Amino acid sequence: GELMTRGVLPTVPRKLHEQSIVKPQGVRVVAACFNERAVLTSFIESVLAVSGVERLVLIDAGSSDDTVSQIRV
């Protein structure tokens, strides 16, 4: 591969650039959760129902309720 020289970025071949625009990857959603046990299941279902969502990553921020077990379900 080319290296960056004197502040000039290497060019991306036109064909590669066009291909990435024509075939976009699915959307990945990342969400932090804190004591969200009561609404987490409906949140997960709502996000995954959105067209194009490929992956949902949930991060527990130290919940003291049962959020973590809901995430693992």
What's the pLDDT tens digit per position in 22-62? Answer: 456 789 999 999 999 999 999 999 999 999 999 999 999 99
0.75 surpassed by pTM: no
CA distance 57 to 28: 8
Phi, psi dihedral angles at 39 (to 5 degrees) = -120, 0
Alpha-carbon span 67 to 5, nearest angstrom:
49
